[in-house]
Amino acid sequence: MDPVIEANGATLGVEHFGDTAGPLVLLAGGPTMLSWPDALCEALARSGHHVVRFDLRDSGASTTGDPGAPAYTLRDLAADAAALARALDDRPAHLAGIGVGGMVAQVAALDHPEAFSALTLAGTRPVAPGPVDDDLPDHDAPTMDRLFSRPMPDWSDRAAVAEFAASGAEILGDDPAAAQAVAERIFDRAPGTEPAVQMANHLGTVFAKLDCTPRWRERLPEIAVPTLVVHGARNRFFPVGNGEALAREIPRARLLVLDHAATAIPRTATGEVAAAMTAGRG
């Protein structure tokens, strides 16, 4: 199956799991597709689903532009998800987003409701990067100070980049070894593209500069599809109150708090998350 698909004027890197005849579960990366663990994709596929994870623009195998001046908006990324869902299957898809991909998924479900049958939001929040609403918990300040005070690695040095990712995971409360392995895979997935661009974009420099207007939080009650909110109890980047707000403001949403998780979905939780994603839905 194709490793890239043209959708909404963009080239999107994709990876398929399971039977293409099964109901589609579309996983929006955060921003790289590898934010979604292999074990979760495989568990969803074993349940009879066609699972497709994809890279957002400026990540992995997807369209890469100027990291300092993205020529698209959050709503374009949402339209990418809807176009990709339609290109893959005539039936509406179950859309899932993690981290910044969760923001994309919220806007996609609001702007393109006909394209989606269910929604999963993992480790995300109901507002764009930048100043947070007063009722939402912001990033944990001491953790952010440690995370962003580290010297940048040589982005062309695979080992240095992987070590940088591992140290960041340790600060955030995630598994350093898993983060190191994912960083190595991210580095290796972009042949012909400068590693500095790919890795810096993966850390969110593009998303921080992206036009995320208009606000969408006030529209969350419009979401009519079954919604699951997954959040790590130890998430210091987007503390769990952000997931609680999403579950409260999206009608009939279910909240799954992973007691031993931080920003990433740990391998030990993939079975529980897959079961929650597929319970009573397509």
| Confidence (pLDDT) at 156 | 84
Q: Is residue 147 part of a domain?
A: no
Q: Is residue 170 part of a domain?
A: no
| Cα–Cα distance measured from residue 184 to residue 188, given in angstroms and rounded to the nearest whole number | 6
Q: Is residue 96 part of a domain?
A: yes
Helix axes 270-278, 38-46, angle to 10 degrees: 40
Q: Is residue 144 part of a domain?
A: no
Q: Is residue 186 part of a domain?
A: no
54, two tokens: 């994809």
Residue partners of 116: CB distance under 8 A and separation at least 6: 82, 85, 92, 93, 94, 95, 108, 109, 225
CATH number at residue 206: 3.40.50.1820
Structural domain for 11, as ranges: 4-131+194-278
Work out the average pLDDT over 92-105. Answer: 97
| Confidence (pLDDT) at 35 | 94
| Confidence (pLDDT) at 64 | 84
How many domains in the chain?
Answer: 1
Q: Is residue 183 part of a domain?
A: no
Q: Is residue 17 part of a domain?
A: yes
Over residues 144-191, the pLDDT tens digits come to 999 999 998 988 889 998 999 999 999 999 999 999 999 999 888 865
Average pLDDT, the chain: 92
At 263, the pLDDT band (50, 70, 90 cuts) reads very high
| Confidence (pLDDT) at 194 | 52
| Confidence (pLDDT) at 1 | 72
pTM of the model: 0.95
Q: Is residue 155 part of a domain?
A: no
pLDDT > 80? residue 49: yes
